[in-house]
A = this chain, B = another copy of it.
Amino acid sequence: MRKFNKQELIQSMDGALKLRGKINEIIDPLFNKGISNICWLGIGGTYASGMQANIHMKEKSALETFYQNAAEYIVTGNKRITDKTLVIISSVTGNTKEMVEAVKKLNEVGTTILGFMDDPKAKLVSSLTYCISYPENEQLKFFMVGDRLMYLNGEFPDYEDFYQQMEQYFAQDIAEVSVKADAFAKDFAQKHHDDAIHYFVGAGNQWGATYSYAMCYWEEQHWLKTRAVEAAEFFHGMFEIIDRDTPVTVYVGEDSQRPLSERVAHFLPEICGNYTIIDAKDYDLPGISEKYRGTLSPFVFHAINNRIDIHIEHLNRHPMDIRRYYRALDY
């Protein structure tokens, strides 16, 4: 398999799961002291991860939770964010301009900020209330925070059982998804690596990831045009431009919004001959109970998408690290 190191992948995910102790040490006293609401603040990819964490919590929780774009926060503010708010952020470099400014503003408000920084020396670290440094696995980190909050709020009684399964099987299972998906991913890349525009449809805890995959991978890293659409919105305007040859990919996850994606997947073949349905159900996750699979769909899709990227990168002879504008020009 091209650019695949199974052991490294497993270690990375297992290491992320081991952050749970640290996370809980931070979250438990905060929750017990009392927080009024939870804000996932980000921009670009981390904004998208916030969308996912937010929907993940909405599945079960009555806590007030919302996501907030960092750039919007700088100019418009958000009066729901107070010194009783828990803000969660994530950053690879810790020097994204909008994030630095937004955190400065949050500090003025006196908000509690938990930041996941890939780089322990990131500029932002000193402005955070709590910092956990570990590379990648953003969604997993966010879900662990959300899950703990819901557990403490009495909304996730299976919490211990779920994480016992996660620690035992998750990393291995997701690595196996990568292996299983590779042949499909290669075919998919072959078929779509030169698309004039590609449509991605997602719902629920996969919507943020769909938004981000279309924008941060195909647009930013492959320089391929895309349009992401929420499955529920597909039928409200957007589908009128689809015809026989329009390339459309639908992610069908196993969370509560599965029926919304299924509706698209069922109808699409009637009007389109160039569609792909990627269904999380087609991938085994041995050791994980059926009832937890919905939460894990984004990780299944993430593994599949990574394999697609590796093949597109090679077919297009376009190394994914190239940027023509991002952090290359002043803007």
Residues of A within 8 A of B (CB): 43-45, 47, 55, 58-62, 64, 66, 69-72, 75-80, 98, 196-197, 203-204, 215-216, 219-221, 223-227, 230-233, 235-241, 255-260, 263, 266-267, 270-271, 323-326, 329, 331
Contact = CB atoms under 8 A, between A and B. Distances in A.
Given A72-B232, A233-B43, A325 B215 contact: no
Among A79, A255, A270, A324, chain B packs the most CB atoms within 10 A around the CB of A79
B232 A43 contact: yes
A78 B98 contact: no
Nearest to A236: B44
Given A61-B79, A225-B227, A216 B237 contact: yes
Nearest to A78: B58
Nearest to A232: B71
A325 B271 contact: yes
Contacts of A98: 232
A62 to B, nearest CB: 4
Closest 3 CB pairs of A and B: A44-B236, A71-B232, A220-B237
Contacts of A80: 62, 64
A233 B69 CA distance: 9
Contacts of A76: 55, 58-59, 204, 255-257
A75 B259 contact: yes
Nearest to A46: B236
A260 B64 contact: no
B78 A240 contact: no
Contacts of A197: 196-197, 225
Given A225-B197, A227-B225, A45 B237 contact: yes
Given A59-B76, A196-B197, A271-B329, 6 more contacts: A66-B66, A72-B204, A75-B257, A225-B227, A226-B227, A235-B331
